[in-house]
Structure 1
Amino acid sequence: MTLPSVAVLPLLVVVAAGVYYIYNEVMRYMSKSLVKNKVVVITDAVSGVGTECAHLFHKGGARLILCGASWDKLESLYDSLTNDADPRETFAPKLVILDFSDMDSVEEMVSEVVECYGCVDVLICNSSVKLKAPVQSVSLELDRNIMDINYFGPSSLAKGVLPTMICRRSGHIVLVTSIHGRLAVPFRSSYTASKHAAQAFFDCLRAEVEEYGILVSTVSHTFINTSEPLPVKESAPKANTLSAFIASQLTHGVRPSILANEIMQTVNRKKKEVVLAHPVPRVALLLRSSSHPSSSPCSLLE
């Protein structure tokens, strides 16, 4: 007995929806099982993205080392993670004060991070400071502070955990960065320069440590949108739909929960480079790369 042609399309839709649901459930289960018992370090864990990552990895059974500049905020995060947690399924996080604006003490703090468990399986470099200002108004001291937090701090921490990863011939380092590491934007000279430096460092690091079985990933995103979503209102159609769409893409940003989930998937699926952005920034990246063909690695080796 054959199905009437009218019923084929709805049936395919139902089957596709069922497959998609099962796939999501399997990936959700694997997300937890893949990080279970892994030693995971999260810098700036008290930020919006850091907190979301902490909750995801903690639920997955990871042995967390949470780093931040404020002990009170770290303790508050610790309480929110452990209050309702099942001690048979999760580990109590370890807390480490880590302030990249104080580079003189970074070496000691990095040693403390490594000594928590003696090794690190996953390092998530999430620390960042932003600045929007004309070039002439930014002091050299502020330039250096931004470079310390956005570049020297993450690179120093990566160097600090590398020896144990090389000895064990395994590990994953994730740099949570910005598309400003790939695009030059006016009035963000210091911030963009620090992100370009970090992007280049971790790209080079990826090539250097691949032979040891160590993976290095970069997750590039647009600005973090921590505002509450506005209620949906019905409105009359706008005259210029295209311009309205472009404006919305420029202002949406990425929510911390979405970015944290992408970081989890990057770790689980061992992705190397992830760009989490709306179409307009993606087009800008494409145009930049196509207009600078001589900057590609292949052309430099010719």
Structure 2
Amino acid sequence: HNELKVLLPVLIVVAAGVYYVYNEFLLFMSNAQVRNKVVVLTDAVSGVGSELARLFHLGGARLILCGTSWDKLESLYDTLCTDADPRETFAPKLVLVDFSDPDSLEEVVVEVVDCYGYVDVLICNSSIKVKGPVQSISLDVDRNVMDINYFGPCTLAKGVLPSMMSRRGGQIVLVNSIHGKLAVPFRSSYAASKHAAQAFFDCLRAEVEEYGISVSTISHTFINSSEPLAPEPDPQHNRLKAYISSQLSHGVRPSVLAYEVLLTVNRKKKEVLLSHPLPRLALYLRSLLPPVLFSVLSAGVRDSALAENVA
């Protein structure tokens, strides 16, 4: 019994060490894969975007950073160049883009491609969220969400395809959402745009495979940038509801998602799901027992506390 008490901590430390070394090895290999590659980030000024910019910049990629704010792009540029060795990295190129203005995207595509004459990796991570009952969301808002979450990524993907096809290689990564696979109440516009984007890139994957172009989609739960809170004690009869609420409100950290994108580029994975067990279970129910899922979602709408925590 005493030997087990001593052995268990040692095993935990060893396992943690092996896991750390494994992750460092993966990061090293991922950096080797992206070195000198022309990589486009469609939203470099968001939390996830800035994490992606840091990882790919340190990996030696030739970055093209897009964003809606020139001041934020310049600030990110200064941070990246200050924190990295200029002998090992390339100064990023900056492109101002506004996906809510579809008429401007043709010029944006030309500007992006002209930076280096081609694109190796396009990472579509731009997104906007809208929450509310269907009847309270105007059609103008619906259109704006579709422009940013669907038409924007599609336009850029189509714009870089000719150079990728002529060079017979490249990769397009859609950082989507689990809402592209699972529709949840009060997310009608957002879920519709994510479903549309998922379908488009699924079709694109099959169409361009013969040209050596990889298409990857990453579906994640919501981005959680806040610090984790210590769980509050709950009465015995509320433990199940508290567990469900915590699962629904527990998102993905920007650094974790950015690292997964880097691994996806390295391994050329076709599809990645970043989710906790409960959302995964919902996906299975949607496929196998849809009436059960619909009943659960309807019950959740009636429970205001649960509805507020739906990701």
TM-score (norm 2): 0.86
Between 198-207 and 181-190, report the one with greater CA deviation: 181-190
Map 1:40-189 → 2, pairs under 5 A: 40-189=39-188
1:279 to 273, 277, 280: 277
Q: Which residue in the other structure is 1:295 paired with? A: none
C-alpha distance 101-236 of structure 1, shift in aligned 2 (>3 A): closer
Sequence identity, in percent?
Answer: 73
1:255 alignment partner AA: R
Q: SS of the residue aligned with 1:40? A: strand
- How far residue 243 of structure 1 moved from its aligned partner, in angstroms, is 3.6
Q: CA–CA distance in 2 between the matches of 1:136 and 1:14?
A: 54
CA displacement at 1:238 relative to structure 2: 5.6
Rounded Cα–Cα distance in structure 1 between residues aligned with 2:16 and 2:117: 45
Q: CA deviation at 1:109?
A: 0.6
Amino acid at match of 2:200: F
Contact 2:234/2:242 (<8 A) preserved: no
Q: Higher helix fraction: Structure 1 or Structure 2? A: 2
Q: Which residue is 1:298 aligned to?
A: none
- The correspondence of residues 259-274 of structure 1 with structure 2, limited to 5 A, is 259-274=257-272
Secondary structure (helix, strand or coil) at the match of 2:216 reads strand
Shift in Å at residue 134 of structure 1? 1.8
Q: What letter corresponds to residue 159 of structure 2 in structure 1?
A: G
Whole-angstrom distance in 1 between the partners of 2:220 and 2:4: 43
Measured in 1, the distance between the counterparts of 2:171 and 2:263 equals 13
SS in 2 for 1:203: helix
Which residue number corresponds to residue 307 of structure 2?
Answer: none
Q: AA paired with 2:186?
A: F
CA distance in 2: counterparts of 1:278 and 1:12, whole angstroms: 26
Equivalent AA in structure 2 for residue 95 of structure 1: L
Amino acid at match of 1:280: L
Which of these residues, 238, 241, 244, is aligned with residue 242 of structure 2?
A: 244
Alignment correspondent of 1:254: 252
Q: Distance in 2 between matches of 1:16 and 1:277?
A: 23
Letter in 2 for 1:245: Y
- Counterparts of 2:271 and 2:4, CA distance in 1: 43
SS of the counterpart of 1:197? helix
SS of structure 1 residue aligned to 2:83: coil
CA deviation map 1:60-104 (0-9, x unaligned): 111100001111110011011111221111100000011111101
Equivalent residue number for residue 291 of structure 1: 289
| Alignment gaps of 5+ in structure 2 | 291-311
CA distance in 2, matches of 1:102, 1:91: 30
CA positional deviation for 1:135: 1.6
Q: Deviations over 1:17-63 (max 9, x none)?
A: 55434322321211211111111000111011101100010111111
What's the offset of the Cα at 1:178?
A: 0.9
Give 1:180-219 correspondences, 5 Å limit. 180-219=179-218
Instruction: Describe the SS at the equivalent of 1:129.
Output: coil
Q: CA deviation at 1:117?
A: 0.6
- Residue 7 to residue 273, structure 1, CA distance change in 2 (3 Å): same
Please provide the CA RMSD for this pair. Answer: 2.1
| Distance in 1 separating the partners of 2:4 and 2:250 | 40
Equivalent AA in structure 1 for residue 274 of structure 2: L
Query: Which amino acid in structure 2 is aligned with residue 111 of structure 1?
Result: V
Return the letter of the residue paired with 2:109: V
- Going from structure 1 to structure 2, the CA distance change for 1:163 and 1:244 (only over 3 Å counts) comes to same
- The structural deviation recorded for 1:241 is 4.4
Aligned counterparts of 1:68 and 1:21: Cα–Cα separation in 2: 33
1:270 partner letter:
K
Cα deviation for residue 14 of structure 1 reads 6.6
1:85-132 residue CA offsets vs partner (Å, 9 max, x unmatched): 211111000000111111011011111001101111111001111111
Partner AA of 1:142 in structure 2: V
Using the TM superposition, name which of 135-144 and 173-182 deviates more.
135-144
1:31 aligns to 2:30 (yes or no):
yes
